[in-house]
Amino acid sequence: MKLGARTRIGPAGYPAQARGNARRVFAVLKEAGLSALEYAAVYGLRVSEKRARLIGMLAEESDITMSVHAPYYISLASRSRETRARSVRRLVHALTMAPLMGVRRIVFHAGGYSGLSHEEAYRVIRDALAAVWAQAGHLGGGALLAPETSGKLGSFGSPEELMRLCSELEGVIPTIDWAHLYARGQGRPATRAEYEEVLTSFEDALGELFVKNMHFHVSGILYTEAGEKQHMPLGMEWGPDILPLVELVDELGYTPTFISETPDSLRGALYVKFLFEGIRGRTDD
């Protein structure tokens, strides 16, 4: 059974089975019936232009939609001006490489509050992203900046912060990491109603910008009172249970990209695909 034409599922990072071989990466994804890949540049986007063009060509040939996860050490509200400047440069670089790689979403964590009030940090981060877009938005070939909901309460990236950011800036859409929200909410969202509440709040705030550009991360997660501790597999003893989310997405006709951030991200992506095929099989019956 094929998924809907615009529903996309894939892993974060190259599948281990491909052993880093770009051609094999896309062959593995195609063989698995997957249709998305989030290129892992979490320790730096060090791909050459030649390699970037190869990735873009293979993605197009394989009908794989591409995103990239920018470096973890981005810190847009850092007290260090140089750290903030480097963070801006890393996002600018990702935007300029995006057309070569076929990348449509640049996912990143904005960083911590660095001792600033939440409002002060918000203004600093907003201004930094405005500067990124002014420098390189026109070079991205349609790629959008996609800040991610944070799993730690001490980091920027609550749903409210992201909705505000995306409503005030051009070229910015949210990445919803459902495991991070689950950790922030100390076990919520978990039910259909709780998932629907989150989706409705983003849609009410951002309208078609959100609906047409839904980008989701999924995994299991361990958490403490401070939030995220460790990503875990899907469909086992760790929450969140994403079946209510998958059912809701299918019933409402949403068409997000699901990226698995489980320890074995290919297996996690196949689990998401399995859930969609299961509910659509019930419908066909």
- Report the distance separating Cα 166 and Cα 163, nearest Å: 5
In a domain, 81, yes or no: yes
In a domain, 252, yes or no: yes
Tell me the residue ranges of DSSP E strands in the chain.
8-11, 36-40, 65-69, 103-108, 144-147, 175-177, 215-218, 220-224, 227-232, 257-260
Return all residues near 131 (Cβ < 8 A) that are at least 6 apart. 88
Q: Which residue has the tokens 């760790």?
A: 238
Q: Are 263 and 231 in contact (CB under 8 A)?
A: yes
In a domain, 1, yes or no: no
Chain segment 34-78, per-residue pLDDT in tens: 999 999 999 999 999 999 999 999 999 999 999 999 999 999 999
Q: Give the confidence band of 10 by pLDDT, cuts at 50, 70, 90.
A: very high
269 has pLDDT over 90? yes
Q: Give the confidence band of 1 by pLDDT, cuts at 50, 70, 90.
A: very low
In a domain, 3, yes or no: no
What is the domain count for the chain?
1
Chain segment 186-227, per-residue pLDDT in tens: 999 999 999 999 999 999 999 999 999 999 999 999 999 999
In a domain, 203, yes or no: yes
Query: What's 63's domain CATH number?
Result: 3.20.20.150
In a domain, 274, yes or no: yes
In a domain, 47, yes or no: yes
In a domain, 204, yes or no: yes
- Provide the domain limits for residue 155: 8-284
Residue 267 backbone dihedrals phi, psi, to 5 degrees = -60, -40
Residue 201 backbone dihedrals phi, psi, to 5 degrees = -65, -40
Q: Give the confidence band of 2 by pLDDT, cuts at 50, 70, 90.
A: very low
Average pLDDT over every residue of 169-174: 98
